[in-house]
Amino acid sequence: MPRKDVAYLGPPGTYSELVARKQFGSRNNFVPLPSIHDVCTFVARKPERVGVVPIENSSGGAIYEMVDILLANRPRVCIQEEIALNVRLALLGRKDEPIKTLYSHFVPLDHCASWLKKHLPRADKESVPSTAMAAQRAWQQPHAAALGNRELAKVWNLDVLAYPIATDQPNITVFLAIGGRTRLQPTATKMTFAVQLLNEPGSLCTFLECFRNENVNLSRLLSRPMRGCPQQYVFLVDIQGSPEAANVKRALRTARKASSKLRVVGGYRSGKLFNS
């Protein structure tokens, strides 16, 4: 098989790269890019390209940069698969060196707050754009450490000081495999669509009843303001079910009538779980 261009949210060493390699195998061409928007733009330019981006974390919530891209359809991408990662964090640094500054993305810092209060109460906590950048900072500076993927220890010649940490609560990040073509897979177990509702009382309730009446479960409903239209909103909606299922087809047919605009973002497989 020809090598694929697989873009992911960089820099190298991020959990996005870990998921991309687990999902697509290491023989492809992996392209780290600095933002989610850059990954989507790269994928949208050629239909054979794919990308891996985060959409939600169980501690930090939705990744709204990706939500907004799916709602605006700019760049134009579709969801091909949903993948979950059980994030197990490591404390990276140098053995026998006191830690004065700890770097990480804000989500791991928040998730590990209780653990850090107990084990590193005097260390300054600094938020950076990614766990990969945190490891780089820990390598560059004395008396510094990072929270992140334990594989980053190999990249930056650091020691794994503790692993896994803060395991008392699940830490799951959901990623999307995206492409430039909208595909409704016959084996799909989930669908996502963007919805603009009628600007009238009860419109959201009427829309939701379309799915309740057909026994279709909604697993996500996110609202975002419409740009240029104060106090009006668009919604990103996930439902469980196949686009080929009769009840899903009926629900979507009535939902289109109950909305001013409905656009399918993908019908895809869900449920795959990797461990970090």
Lowest model confidence (mean pLDDT) among 26-30, 124-128, 155-159 = 26-30
Task: Judge whether residue 42 has pLDDT over 70.
Answer: yes
Pick from 181, 109, 131, 157: which is nearest to 9 by CA?
A: 131
Q: How confident is the model at residue 226 (pLDDT cuts 50, 70, 90)?
A: confident
CATH of span 5-86+171-182: 3.40.190.10
**Mean local confidence (pLDDT), 109-127:** 96
Predicted pLDDT at 2? 77
Pick from 194, 174, 173: which is nearest to 182 by CA?
A: 194
Same fold, 5-86+171-182 and 190-274: no
The burial of 144, by beta-carbon neighbours within 10 Å (0-12 exposed, 13-18 middle, 19 or more buried), is given as: buried
**Mean local confidence (pLDDT), 249-257:** 96
pLDDT tens-digit profile of 161-220? 999 998 888 899 999 999 987 777 878 999 999 999 988 899 999 999 999 999 999 999
- Structurally, what CATH architecture does the domain formed by 89-165 represent? 3-Layer(aba) Sandwich (3.40)
Candidates 3.40.50.300, 3.30.70.100, 3.40.50.720, 3.30.70.260; CATH matching 190-274: 3.30.70.260
Backbone conformation region of residue 202, classed left if phi is above 0, alpha if psi is from -120 to 50, else beta: left
Taking all residues of the chain, what is their mean pLDDT, rounded to a whole number?
A: 94
Q: Which one-letter amino acid corresponds to residue 183?
A: R
Task: Judge whether residue 142 has pLDDT over 80.
Answer: yes
The whole-model pTM stands at 0.93
* Of 3 and 40, more confident: 40
- Length, in residues, of the chain: 276
Q: How confident is the model at residue 227 (pLDDT cuts 50, 70, 90)?
A: confident
Q: Which one-letter amino acid corresponds to residue 69?
A: I
Pick from 218, 219, 214: which is nearest to 253 by CA?
A: 214
Domain residue ranges in the chain? 5-86+171-182, 89-165, 190-274
CA atoms within 13 A on the CB side of 201: 0
* Of 167 and 15, more confident: 15
Q: How confident is the model at residue 1 (pLDDT cuts 50, 70, 90)?
A: low
